[in-house]
Chain A
Amino acid sequence: MIDDAVLRTTLDRALRRGGDFADVFVEQRRSTSIAMEDSRIERVQAGTEQGAGIRVVCGLSTAFAYTDELTEAGLLRAAETAAAAARGGADGASIDLRERRVGEQVVAIPPDGVDMGRKVELLRAADAAAREESAAVRQVTATYAEGIQSIIVANSDGTLARDRRTRVRAFVQAVAARGGEVQSGYEAPGRATGFELFDQPVLTDAAREAARRATLLLDAEPAPSGTMTVVIGNDFGGVLFHEASGHGLEADHIAKRASVFAGQMGQLVASPLVTAVDDGTLEGAWGTLRIDDEGIPTQRNVLIEEGVLTGYMFDRLRARQDGRPSTGNGRRQSYQHIPMPRMTNTYILPGESTVEDLIASTPHGLYAKRLGSGQVNTVTGDFVFAVTEGYLIENGRITRPVRGATIIGNGPAALRKVDMVADDCGLAPGTCGKEGQAVPVSVGQPHLRISELTVGGTRVAGVQL
């Protein structure tokens, strides 16, 4: 996309008025999405975004400029802007770039080489599968999306690294109706792989699952409310840890003492049953990167080991502030954004119980089989999540489905109350937002039980709304 010589000149120019560190992030992203609704193609969108972001760091202060013009002139102009905004620091010396070679992502079938008609066929099959699953299904929305992001990172430490990241994903929503009742189910499988993901029937499986859930909810009763024992499902259930604890373990929140986990290193912050990692190296997982957006190889970082806080997630800036190496968690939404410490694939490791144990030993509670997305206040750790598939647990058995439940609590408090962890860990893809920047991540966990959590349902103390 850009010559090494131009990158070198750009870095020199960026540090012209001083600065401790500078980097250039060059990006080209080609995306395609096809949406089907009511068995018709609703929308086809495809395009290219490209540009470069240039950063000059002085101490903890960052000056940043970006350009959409991937030309020497465009890059130099952005470098000038960043240099002009930079404040203080040492004079820049001439930079010698050395390419850091990392392995390439394994992509068997590049999705941009696959005929659009084949992608449309996938959507048709999903649409049909959802309708076949349940006669109550009234509407199906299915979307196929692919993205190929090519990046170059060059910095004033001499690092030069390239990566190409291919991701494919699909979204299915099924709406079921019966009488006056309308409910929906949603599934969104995705992998950092090529089109070979669809060699397996992942999309039709997802469509059936979405249809099953929508139909199930038609018969669900309003969720109870109050404090109770909650069993959280595996895979996407990990969103609870991601939101309620993961963000608080990002080094920028720690450095600003805006996290409940600040100053807790080496302390018991969770039940001893909880071991949690962030691992950017898992082949094919949605949040996987060979190098992060600062050119640093990703790694497996243990965040909490048997309940004890063992690690935060760092980008370059926060690592340097702390006098330690980056953990490979410097990520950015695009060339238009400044990198921050972000999660990759974050999950709780499996325990020794079985799912059956968890349920059987719960006399009364809520089985939150599937969570929706949530929201957290990183300062206090308070969170709220929707339960998109939930059941009552009565006398150690899963009984009736319930709808409209939310769970609300405090991250560290909930982690301490984890009293059983099952052996069935799995990962699920998601999109993580932080300060307006969205990046792909995986969340994950085995089934686990929290002894006490507040459930907000529509049924309160005998009153039904």
Chain B
Amino acid sequence: MSGAPGLRFAEAAGRILDGAVSGGAGDAEAYVHHGAELTVKAFGGEVESLTSAESRGIGLRVFADSRMGFAYTSDLSEEGLRRLVDTALAACRVNEPDEHAGLPDAVPNGDLDLVAADFDALSVEERVAMALELERLATTAVPEVRRASGAVYADERGRNELYTTRGVAAAFEATVAYGYVETIAERGEEMQAGMSFTYGRSASALDLAACGREAAERAAGLLGADRLPSRTVPVIFEPWAAASLVGTLASSISAEAVQKGRSLLAGRIGEAVAASCVTLVDDGRLREGLASRPWDAEGVPTQRTEVIGDGVLRSYLHNSYTARRDGTARSTGNAARGSYRSTPELGPTNLVLLPGTAGPEELMARMGDGILVTDVHGLHTVNPVTGEFSLGIGGFAVEGGVRGAPIREMTVAGTLLDLLGAVEAVGSDLRFTFGPGFVGAPSVLVRSLPVSGA
């Protein structure tokens, strides 16, 4: 992906912006995504599949008479581009006027270094070998795990370009590489699954050995898991489980949800909404965060936003639309698009529950008796309006501060606000996972939660 495609897109973008203006648009914006991906899946010591491809597409927003229209295409032929403009203008005519619709005033400035210098250093063969190696490492780490249901190595170089009728012409690139493995532990008839992943900006950043070992240990650790009786107990959520829960807050901290009356945090700015050890930030410029970008999906520079500071709700996340509708807010650079096929919406970048100082063992010792949750299931069932949740959990019983027998087929229930308020301590072991954006959290000790089982 050299300079050439950029030139080509700039030309196509120029053509459709001109077309939009002559079709009656006051403002228009073309968003281009171009990506090159390699994905390798290994199974049973062989390459199960290897995908290599480049893709690109354009999303066009047009604004006329306070109305917005949107269309997208991956057909960059002359006819395809003409249809794109016509479709966007037609959508604009159907849409209702909205005084807050429009392009942001802020424009892209500055850059972030999101491209690994050695991204292209490894050959395809070497990258194929990484998937095979990850599978081998995961199936030789512990005796109970002799096979994996899949091991993946994947990388991608993506380029985003933004052009507007107000003269914006900006681009940035980012690279990412990750390895993922799911293992199967067996003992007699019983099978348990475990997974882990490793990520970075290039293949050289991946720690395959640690990833393979963790996936194996997670599966083997669950062998013999059983249900415990229902009760109300202290709970520690391990970093990935905690991060998954943090991810469910994303909709509530969105200014869009607040303005539409769909947030459980509406009207709570300046109030304590969590225990004082809870500080939550959204940081679009974190070097190690995979959701980092110099500017957001409509070109507004990203920033670090403290959402909850010492338990107090400080800010919601804004894009330029919600900021205008709010009247006094500024965009926090949180316009997000799933792809060129969608309009800029609102979403977190790297959403991080800041770590404390206690190690995981220290948290367990402090808890004494309770449950250590390593996996949560059914996160999509969390009610974003009320915050009510009832989640499937996997993990371990903890007795006298020591990790005991594994548990399965159990649930933990409550509301997100009660949970935030009941956090007793956060650990030092911050880890990230994919969520809405990229979410990070350390281990979290919660005073008490109802856990259902047998």
Binding site for B on A (CB under 8 A): 34, 37-38, 40-41, 43-51, 59-70, 78, 81-82, 85, 87, 116-117, 120, 138-139, 175, 182-184, 223, 225-227, 253, 256-258, 260, 336, 338, 372-375, 377, 379-380, 382-386, 403-406, 408-410, 454-461, 463, 465
Which of B95, B386, B451 is in CB contact (< 8 Å) with A460?
A: B451
Closest Cβ of chain A to B437, distance in Å, is: 17
CB-CB < 8 A to A182: which residues of B? 385-386
Question: Is the Cβ of B392 less than 8 Å from the Cβ of A225?
Answer: no
Complex Cα spacing A59 to B262, Å: 52
Q: A379-B184, A379-B191, A404-B390 known; A67 and B261 CB under 8 Å?
A: no
CB <8 Å contact, B413 and A458? yes
A380-B377 Cα distance, complex, nearest whole Å: 14
In the complex, B54 has a CB within 8 A of chain A: yes
CB-CB under 8 A from B386, the residues of chain A are 182-183
CB contacts under 8 Å to A, within B36-52, are 43-44, 46-52
- Does B378 sit at the interface, judged by CB under 8 A? yes
Is B140's beta carbon under 8 Å from chain A? no
- Bound Cα distance A10, B44 (Å): 30
With a 10 A CB-CB cut-off, give which of B232, B261, B392 has the most chain A CB atoms.
B392
Interface of B is mostly: strand
Q: How far is the CA of A405 from the CA of B262 in the complex (A)?
A: 21
Q: Cα distance A406–B80 when bound, in Å? A: 47
A-contacting 9-mer, from B86-94, B291-299, B363-371:
B86-94
Within residues 436 to 454 of chain B, which ones have a CB less than 8 A from any CB in chain A?
450-454
Closest to A180 in B: B386
Are A406's CB and B341's CB within 8 A? no
- Chain A contacts of B454 at CB under 8 A? 226-227, 454
Interface size on B, residues (CB 8 A): 78
Distance in Å from the Cβ of B258 to the closest Cβ of chain A?
A: 13
What is the chain A residue whose CB lies nearest that of B449? A465
Chain B nearest CB from A465 CB (Å) reads 5
- Interchain residue pairs A-B with the least CB separation, the first 3: A456-B411, A384-B392, A386-B381
- Given the known interface contacts A44-B91, A460-B232, the answer about A138 and B452 at a Cβ–Cβ threshold of 8 Å is no
Q: What residues make up the interface of B, taking CB atoms closer than 8 Å to A?
A: 43-44, 46-57, 59, 69-76, 80, 83-84, 87-88, 90-92, 94-96, 98, 124, 147, 149-150, 184, 191-193, 227, 230-232, 260-262, 341-343, 377-378, 380-381, 383, 385-386, 388, 390-392, 408-415, 418, 450-454
Chain B residues with CB below 8 A from A50, complex form: 74-75
Q: How far is the CA of A224 from the CA of B418 in the complex (A)?
A: 19
- Known A47-B87, A87-B47, A226-B452; contact A68-B55, beta-carbon cutoff 8 A: yes
B140 → A minimal CB distance (Å)? 18
- Complex Cα gap A379–B94 (Å): 48
21 A-B contacts (beta carbon < 8 Å) = A46-B88, A46-B90, A47-B87, A48-B73, A61-B47, A63-B50, A64-B51, A65-B52, A67-B54, A67-B55, A338-B51, A379-B184, A380-B191, A385-B378, A456-B411, A457-B452, A458-B390, A458-B414, A460-B231, A460-B452, A461-B230
- Closest residue on chain A to residue B341 by CB atoms: A47
Q: In the complex, what's the smallest C-beta–C-beta distance from A306 to chain B, in angstroms?
A: 24
Known A256-B43, A373-B381, A461-B231; contact A49-B50, beta-carbon cutoff 8 A: no
**In the bound complex, how far is the Cα of B232 from the Cα of A87, in angstroms?**
56
Interchain CB contact under 8 A, B74 and A68: yes
> With a CB–CB cut-off of 8 A, which chain B residues contact A116?
90-91, 94
List of B residues within 8 angstroms of A81 by Cβ: 52-53
Contact B49 A338 (CB under 8 A): yes
Q: Within 8 Å CB of A65, what residues of B?
A: 51-53
B56 close to A68 (CB less than 8 A): yes
Q: Which residue of B lies closest to A384 (CB)?
A: B392
Residue of B261, B381, B415 near A465 (CB, 8 A) is B415
B91 touches A45 (CB 8 A): yes
Contact A384 B193 (CB under 8 A): no
Q: Are B378 and A386 in touch, CB under 8 angstroms?
A: yes
A48/B83 contact (C-beta < 8 A), A37-B260, A182-B385 known: yes
Bound CA span A68–B35, Å: 11
A256 CA / B139 CA spacing, docked (Å)? 14
A41 to B411, Cβ gap below 8 A?
A: no
Known A-B contacts A408-B410, A460-B231; the reply to A66 vs B94 at CB < 8 A is no
**With A226-B452, A258-B149, A373-B381 as contacts: A47 and B71 at CB distance below 8 Å:** yes
Are B73 and A38 closer than 8 Å at their CB atoms? no
- B contact residues around A256 at 8 Å (CB): 43-44, 149-150
Residues of A within 8 A of B52 (CB): 63-65, 81-82, 85
Interfacial chain B residues near A59, Cβ < 8 Å: 46
Tell me whether A64 and B50 are in contact (CB under 8 A). yes
**B378 — which chain A residues lie within 8 A by C-beta?**
374-375, 384-386, 406
The reply to whether A60 and B80 contact each other, CB–CB distance below 8 Å, is no
CA of A227 to CA of B228, assembled, Å: 12
A225 with B452, Cβ < 8 A, contacts A256-B149, A458-B390 known: yes
Q: Are A48 and B413 in contact (CB under 8 A)?
A: no
Check if B80 sits within 8 Å of A48, measured CB to CB.
yes
Say which residue of A51, A78, A82, A454 sits within 8 Å of B409 (CB atoms).
A454
Known A68-B55, A458-B450; judge A184-B385 contact (CB<8 A): yes
B391 touches A406 (CB 8 A): yes
Contact of A48 among B46, B51, B75, B95 (CB under 8 A): B75
Chain B residues whose C-beta falls within 8 Å of the C-beta of A379 in the assembled complex = 149, 184, 191-193
- B74 — which chain A residues lie within 8 A by C-beta? 48-51, 68
Complex interface: chain A residues within 8 A of B260 (CB): 37-38, 139
CA distance A374 to B392 in the complex (A): 10
* Chain A residues, CB < 8 A from B450: 225, 458-460, 463, 465
Please pick, from A44, A64, A457, A461, the residue contacting B69 in the complex, using a CB distance under 8 A: A44
Interchain nearest-CB distance for A259 vs B (Å): 9
Query: In the complex, what residues of A have CB within 8 A of residue B71's CB?
Result: 45-47
The residue on A at minimum CB distance from B190 is A380
A43 — which chain B residues lie within 8 A by C-beta? 70, 95, 343
Complex partner residue of B261 from A34, A138, A405, A454, CB under 8 angstroms: A138
Rounded to whole angstroms, the CA-CA distance of A379 and B70 in the bound complex is 42
Shortest CB distance A98–B (Å): 28
Q: Are B383 and A225 in contact (CB under 8 A)?
A: no
Instruction: Name the residue of chain B whose CB is nearest to the CB of A66.
Output: B53
In angstroms, Cα B401 to Cα A27, docked, is 57
Alpha-carbon gap, A325 to B256, bound state (A): 51
Give complex CA distance A385, B414 in Å. Answer: 16
Name which residue of chain A comes closest to B191, CB basis.
Answer: A379
